[in-house]
Amino acid sequence: MRITDLLKPQSIDLNAVVADKPAAVERLVDLMEAGGNLADKALYKARVLAREAEGSTGIGEGIAIPHAKTEAVKAPGLASMIVRAGVDYESLDEEPAFLFFLIAAPAGGENVHLEVLSRLSRMLMDDEFHEALMNAKTPEEYLRIIDEAEKIQIEQEEAEAEEERRQAEAEQAAAAAEKAIGAGEDAGTASAGAARVATAVGAAADSGKPFVAAVTACPTGIAHTYMAAEALERKAAAMGIDIKVETNGSGGVKNTLTAADIERAAGIIVACDKNVPVQRFAGKKVLFVKVSAGIKEPENLINTILKGEAPVFSGEGAPSDEPAAAAAEGESVGRQIYKHLMNGVSHMLPFVIGGGILIALAFLFDMGNAGTANFGSGTPLAAFLKNIGGLSFSMMMPILAGYIAMSIGERPALMPGVVGGFLAVNGGSGFFGALFAGFIAGYLVNWLKKVLSGLPQALEGTKPVLLYPVLGLLLMGIIMTYIINPPTAMFNKWLAGVLAGMSSSSKVILGFILGGMMSIDFGGPINKAAYVFGTASLAGASGQAVSSGIMASVMIGGMVPPIAIALCTLLFKKKFTKQERSSCVTNFIMGFSFITEGAIPFAASDPLHVIPACAIGSAVAGALSMLFNCTVPAPHGGLFVFGVVTNWPMYFVALLIGALVACFVLGFTRKDAVE
């Protein structure tokens, strides 16, 4: 597959005129749709804007590569435009962006296109290629320039692949020779083999120049991963330095650093925004930075390694001095804690959602036993669904704790974290205990790594298989049983008593707050905080699912924004462009499916009007849900789980009232649109 297979003439605009970043995204998405690559334009745009909310894809030097990998894409594709006057795209160098490539990647299926997209990312780092594109007069000339440059890039990639293959063969031969010597093979034969290997490896790896190794990775693994790699490689070539860069992209790990590479390197640059295997770098000088630093300041990074200014890596999953690491990456300690928490939550949610919805279906298929003690398992089908769903749901706390721990202390921390989560459930400390268990296990294992770092080298292999598991498990058992569980269990009982004893007015206030939180940042930290609180309320003392009024308020609060916007496009047509009105049906579907992100494109283009209106409507819906004593046993599903919502007719009324409130607030405050 070639770049020109993904980029079509109708998806190119060489003279685009846009006023700001949202308008730039809007135009690019229009071009992508013109190429026939999208199954759901509104959802795709929402995903692109959500990616921009994580950090601008304006990489500097006048280039921006927005992208999204989502189910809204039916076929991989590219769209491109040139904004001759430039536009503020919040780029890394704070300069205007002129050249844009929008990437659409399908959520599933084969990833053949990712190799093509990584090639484009590398090509864009070439100043001559960049200038040639800017001077193109027609889409056909634009595509010809890309095709010619891609041919050269492919030849380079093939040469690099052949060199990597030759090195791998040489290292395999070296290992075989060493094994033969160990097995007592004829000394002359082994020595000759070793000499051939030494010659091969030496020719492949040692040029006599300083050598630096690097790893690059970004969350989506589509663009920034490869652009950082290309920037580092180009700068190293200009400086007369040898470098090898391993890329951890969506298409897998490429150009893998070998043991010989790591041994030879003066140091390693880890320019990553996601976790990559780093224990292999223990004892080397390692510089941990964001992937954007690899693009923006490759020379500084290489010089830091060559001058020996990078700290020696202790072998943990992050630099041993955590505050220093946070400063180096521009992240606060609070931000790092949030990332660890979200790692746990993201792994937990499939268990909660899958199990919760199966339990909801069990109730739905057992309506004939409603009101009886056997409700939910009164028929064979219902009992089957409830048992399977309950098993999945009971894993919620251990998985949460385990993956928080793993985010902090990597693989050795997973087992102590999971067991700590089980101890939290069995000890009555529940969700809050599992949170404590995850963080304690992660930092406990990091502490064990430091304490055991002074052991003889001969015992190194016993650490991951014996010392970390045994000591980690023992210490976690002591901490959870005697320190965390007793006070946290008491707090949980007190909190349950407070919630149970709340007057109707107090519950309404709680529902108002939770519903409003779901519409403040549409999938951001505030939204996630409310959602996690809601899912936690679904777990009873035994870890089994229960029906929750808190979860009902959270779910309805998240459903309101897309529905309200859809209603507004119908009732206040003058307030929206024709393009915005075309997303009406999509927003209804997303709203009724509890996909809050459908409101993101509107919130991004007009935050001062959309966010307050949606927050007010969601808060009203959450309050009414509490007032009507609605509860739900499922953490997701929206309209599709209304059949198991307690007092579902009034739940629907609460949803409708909240959506109408948001609709009218937005309709009366927003100015008429200009087509």
Mean per-residue pLDDT, 242-261: 83
Comparing 163-172, 287-296, 600-609, which segment has the lowest mean pLDDT? 163-172
- Residue 453 predicted with pLDDT over 60: yes
Q: Which of 276, 296, 328 is the last residue of a domain?
A: 328
Q: Are residues 266 and 393 in the same domain?
A: no
Q: Are residues 63 and 125 in the same domain?
A: yes
Q: Are residues 316 and 341 in the same domain?
A: no
Active-site residue, from 113, 218, 609, 636: 218
Indicate whether 543 belongs to any domain.
yes
Q: Where residue 526 falls among pLDDT bands split at 50, 70, 90?
A: confident
200 vs 546, residue with greater confidence: 546
502 vs 435, residue with greater confidence: 435
pLDDT, tens digit, 9 for 90 and up, residues 223-235: 678 778 888 988 8
Alpha helix positions (H), 35-138: 41-54, 112-123, 127-134
Indicate whether 628 belongs to any domain.
yes
Rounded-to-10 torsion of CA 403, 489, 549, 565: -40
Measure CA 589 to chain center.
Answer: 24
pLDDT, tens digit, 9 for 90 and up, residues 21-41: 989 999 999 999 999 989 888
Mean per-residue pLDDT, 585-598: 78
% of the chain with per-residue pLDDT over 70: 80
| CA–CA dist 384, 387 (Å, integer) | 5
Residue-wise burial string across 609-630, b where 16 or more C-beta atoms lie within 10 A, e elsewhere: bbbbbbbbbbbbbbbbbbbbeb
Q: Where residue 325 falls among pLDDT bands split at 50, 70, 90?
A: very low
Q: Which of 135, 159, 193 is the last residue of a domain?
A: 135
CATH number, domain containing residue 82: 3.40.930.10
Q: Are residues 302 and 357 in the same domain?
A: no
Number of domains into which the chain is organized: 4
For position 258, what pLDDT does the model report? 87
- Residue 616 predicted with pLDDT over 90: yes
- Residue 560 predicted with pLDDT over 50: yes
For position 619, what pLDDT does the model report? 94
- Residue 406 predicted with pLDDT over 70: yes
For position 605, what pLDDT does the model report? 67
137 vs 328, residue with greater confidence: 137
Q: Are residues 466 and 403 in the same domain?
A: yes
Indicate whether 177 belongs to any domain.
no
Q: Cβ distance 391 to 351 under 8 Å? A: no
Indicate whether 14 belongs to any domain.
yes
Q: Are residues 512 and 452 in the same domain?
A: no
Q: Are residues 508 and 657 in the same domain?
A: yes
Q: Cβ distance 597 to 523 under 8 Å? A: yes
Q: Which range of residues forms the domain containing residue 595?
A: 504-669
Q: Are residues 302 and 340 in the same domain?
A: no
Q: Are residues 310 and 341 in the same domain?
A: no
Mean per-residue pLDDT, 647-664: 94
> SS3 breakdown of the chain: % helix, strand, coil, rounded to 5?
65, 10, 25
Q: Where residue 329 falls among pLDDT bands split at 50, 70, 90?
A: very low
Indicate whether 612 belongs to any domain.
yes
Indicate whether 494 belongs to any domain.
no
Active-site residue, from 67, 113, 224, 636: 67
Q: Minimal CA–CA distance to 554: which of 594, 497, 495?
A: 594
Structure tokens at 251: 């298409």
Q: Where residue 375 falls among pLDDT bands split at 50, 70, 90?
A: low
Q: Are residues 32 and 129 in the same domain?
A: yes
- Residue 202 predicted with pLDDT over 70: no
Q: Are residues 115 and 53 in the same domain?
A: yes
**Edge-to-edge strands of the sheet including 286-289?**
252-254, 242-249, 211-217, 268-272, 286-289
pTM score over 0.75: no
Mean per-residue pLDDT, 629-647: 81
CATH number, domain containing residue 316: 3.40.50.2300
- CA dist 456 → 195, 448, 462 (Å): 32, 15, 11
Q: Which of 453, 485, 517 is the last residue of a domain?
A: 485
For position 320, what pLDDT does the model report? 38
Q: Are residues 476 and 512 in the same domain?
A: no
pLDDT, tens digit, 9 for 90 and up, residues 428-444: 887 788 889 999 999 99
Indicate whether 490 belongs to any domain.
no
Q: Where residue 3 falls among pLDDT bands split at 50, 70, 90?
A: confident
pLDDT, tens digit, 9 for 90 and up, residues 180-191: 555 554 444 444
pLDDT, tens digit, 9 for 90 and up, residues 53-93: 777 788 777 889 888 888 888 888 899 999 998 999 888 77
Indicate whether 20 belongs to any domain.
yes
Q: Minimal CA–CA distance to 457: which of 643, 315, 258, 254?
A: 315
Is 218 catalytic? The answer is yes
165 vs 238, residue with greater confidence: 238
Q: Where residue 422 falls among pLDDT bands split at 50, 70, 90?
A: very high
